[in-house]
A = this chain, B = another copy of it.
Amino acid sequence: MVPAGGAGTRLWPLSRSGHPKFLRDLTGGGRSLLQSTHDRLAPLAADRFVVVTGTRHRDAVAAQLPDVDDTWIIAEPSARDSMAAIGVAAAILERHDPDAVMGSFAADHVITRSEVFEAAVASAVAAARDGHLVTIGIEPTFPSSAFGYIQCGDTLEGHDGVCRVEAFVEKPSVDVAEGYLATGAYRWNAGMFVVRPTVLLDLLAEGHPEFAAALRAIAAAPETLAEAWDALPKIALDHAVAEPAADAGRVVVVPAAFGWDDVGDFDSLATLLEDDGTATTTVLGDADLVTAVDTTGLVVPAGGKMVTVVGLDDVVVVDTPDALLVTTRAHAQAVKKLVGALKDAGREDLT
């Protein structure tokens, strides 16, 4: 299952509330992030491919994924965070096949070296069949302060290369992250979970029995979803289930070293797209629309017109038909502030 949500405001103006990041082709490969996620996962899904997305994006998701049966594109009337989105899919899958194993993977991440990813998923499925809540932990390539980390503990008996999770830790400072990397025991938390739906819902029921019951009730009577939805708690799966379960020693992690990027902002996107780290201008889109002189950085000529840049390093220029962004890679996180400023100025139409 794929929770397809999140506005991706730090990728504005490419990502908009009405046309979010996961619907966008951000790699120039001709497929949106959602489509690439589908292409990567569909061969691994023996049975169902489920997407949970906002009501306003339902039609766009269906149009981008013609192979996915409409019944399995679940529309959330409002955003209730990841526990509700993943939980409702789990409840529906549980009714469909009580022995199923499900995986949950974000719609808007980029993954490379897919054979390594597939091997990790296979290990995770094996551990999930044995009743564990399994996460996949990415081998960190630098001490990022933008991601949460997973601390690996003892090896899980009978599952080569799978460890118990000591703890999930929140985004650290770079200094703390450097310490994590030095130990070799920490992995990036990419929010990937593989688990039997029944195990997930039973774990949820331990701390939030009414929440689990509500999800199972929706699965039993799907026509009640719209009415029941807004009463569901707004909480992340990490807080509702994964962290308490890890504290109880009931979560395991498959460490893996595939390429992973959450494309969180334009700095991340620039790193993802640059060929080899050499100082040039990276273009996402039609290179004939960009003329750059003495410039490094990322240029996105999505407005259909000529974009020229002279004498700027690590610049980010994103042209679209109705809005232009000019910033630097170092200020990539501040784009979020800008979107807030536009809203404050009454320009929600642009966000």
Tell me the A residues contacting B by CB distance below 8 Å.
13, 291, 293-294, 303, 305-312, 315, 317, 319, 321-328, 330-331, 334-335, 337-338, 341-342, 345, 347, 350
Contacts and interface: CB of A to CB of B under 8 A. Distances in A.
Given A334-B293, A341-B293, A342-B291, A312 B326 contact: yes
A331 B306 contact: no
Q: Taking the full assembly, how many copies of this chain does it contain?
A: 2
Given A306-B347, A308-B324, A312-B326, 4 more contacts: A306-B324, A307-B323, A308-B338, A309-B327
A130 B20 CA distance: 75
A291 B323 CA distance: 10
A331 B305 contact: no
Given A294-B334, A306-B347, A321-B305, A328 B312 contact: yes
Interface centre among A291, A330, A331 (most CB of B within 10 A): A291
A160 to B, nearest CB: 47
Contacts of A306: 322-324, 342, 347, 350
B310 A319 contact: no
A348 to B, nearest CB: 12
Nearest to A318: B308
State the main secondary structure of chain A at its contact with B.
mixed
A281 to B, nearest CB: 11
Nearest 3 interchain pairs by C-beta: A311-B331, A310-B327, A306-B323
A337 B310 contact: yes
Nearest to A309: B326
A334 B305 contact: no
Nearest to A342: B291
A310 B324 CA distance: 11
Given A305-B322, A305-B324, A326-B315, A331 B310 contact: yes
30 contacts: A291-B345, A291-B347, A293-B334, A294-B331, A305-B321, A305-B324, A306-B323, A306-B324, A306-B342, A306-B347, A306-B350, A307-B326, A308-B324, A308-B338, A309-B325, A309-B326, A310-B326, A310-B327, A310-B328, A310-B331, A310-B334, A310-B335, A311-B328, A311-B330, A312-B312, A312-B315, A312-B326, A312-B331, A315-B326, A317-B326
Contacts of A347: 291, 306
